[in-house]
């Protein structure tokens, strides 16, 4: 008798998401692990589904992890960071200005307009707001103007639209500086969004982690370990595996960890996004 597949949730932030999880589903099936997936339009719905028994696993953004962990603790339960991509660990965001900008330090941002990504973006909004507050003593809306570029609410900044919009606004002089994850700063330069030699980095955040494959409360530990072991065994040099890894943006899976979300944990609380139980606080958040 065929066993029922364990369900995985993923957010459909781009069409390639279907291709990615169809590929992983087939690869896992060849190794005797029955997995299927369901797509959500936003992370808030996906996290809720982790507590209704609808999904055993969730490909969560870092902000979705924060919420899932808080909701689990409030219920006397736990969630688990199973695996992460190598590209999800030890990341940084940068504050970018024009090369000829008079701004030299964070204190120079007083009275200026600063560009951010979407309201729910960890890397382009929440962690940058936290950085300016804790490293520069600058509170958004008080010492400087917060100019958000909200794109695709509920996707937690998985897309890069808000960051690109903020970068372009900086070039047009609509904001004095704009935040983006360091990888996108490089990508925007390569694609021509940012002119070669036309910008510079004014500030850089501390290191943080990004997405994780999260195990829902109550899922059989052996089944979770089996999935984690299979993913960790994927070899970049395997011709069947490499296209899947490339599409998902990694070279190697790594064991999940929780140490890289401390900045976001603080930001989610102090910037008024989630409460201690994972409840939504941001009144202007639309998804």
Q: pLDDT tens for the chain, 287 residues: list them.
A: 456 899 999 999 889 999 999 999 999 999 999 999 999 999 999 999 999 999 999 999 999 999 999 999 999 999 999 999 999 999 999 999 999 999 999 999 999 999 999 999 999 999 999 999 999 999 999 999 999 999 889 999 987 879 999 999 999 999 999 999 999 999 999 999 999 999 999 999 999 999 999 999 999 999 999 999 999 999 999 999 999 999 999 999 999 999 999 999 999 999 999 999 999 999 999 99
Residues 6+ apart with CB under 8 A from 172: none
Residue 107 has a pLDDT of 97
Pick from 124, 172, 181, 117: nearest CA to 149: 117
User: What is the pTM (predicted TM-score) of this model?
Assistant: 0.95
Beta strands in 18-99 (DSSP E): 35-40, 57-60, 80-85, 93-98
Pick from 236, 237, 231: nearest CA to 27: 231
The domains located in the chain, with CATH, are: 6-88+210-260 (3.40.190.10), 93-204 (3.40.190.10)
Residue 1 has a pLDDT of 43
Q: Three-state SS for 277?
A: coil
What is the CA angle 200-208-188, rounded to 5? 35
State the Cα–Cα distance between residues 75 and 212, nearest whole angstrom: 21
Assess contact for 84 and 209: CB atoms under 8 A. yes
Residues 6+ apart with CB under 8 A from 287: 41, 42, 43, 44, 120, 153, 154, 155
């Amino acid at each position: 008798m065929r066993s029922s597949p364990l369900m995985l949730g993923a957010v459909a932030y781009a069409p390639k998401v279907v291709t990615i999880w169809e590929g992983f589903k087939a690869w896992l099936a060849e190794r005797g692990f029955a997995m299927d997936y369901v797509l959500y339009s936003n992370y808030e719905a996906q996290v809720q589904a982790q507590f209704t028994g609808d999904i055993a696993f969730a490909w969560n953004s870092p902000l979705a992890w924060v919420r899932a962990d808080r909701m689990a603790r409030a219920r006397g339960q736990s969630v688990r960071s199973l695996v992460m991509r190598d590209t999800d660990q030890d990341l940084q965001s940068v504050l970018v200005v024009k090369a000829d900008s008079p701004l030299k330090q964070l204190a120079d941002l007083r009275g200026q307009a600063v560009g951010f990504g979407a309201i729910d973006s960890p890397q382009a909004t929440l962690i940058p707001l936290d950085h300016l507050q804790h490293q520069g003593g600058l509170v958004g809306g008080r010492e400087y103007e917060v100019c958000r570029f909200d794109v695709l609410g509920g996707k937690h900044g998985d897309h890069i639209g808000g960051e690109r919009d903020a970068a372009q606004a900086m070039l047009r002089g609509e904001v004095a500086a704009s935040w983006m994850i360091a990888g996108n700063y490089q990508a925007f330069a390569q694609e021509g969004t940012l002119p070669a030699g036309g910008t510079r980095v004014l500030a850089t955040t501390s290191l943080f982690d990004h997405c994780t494959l999260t195990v829902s409360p109550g899922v059989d530990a052996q089944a979770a370990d089996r999935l984690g072991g299979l993913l960790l065994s994927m070899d970049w040099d395997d011709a069947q595996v490499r296209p899947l890894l490339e599409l998902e943006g990694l070279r190697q899976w790594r064991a999940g960890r929780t140490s890289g979300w401390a900045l976001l944990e603080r930001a989610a609380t102090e910037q008024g996004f989630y409460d201690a139980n994972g409840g939504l606080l941001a009144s202007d958040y639309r998804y």
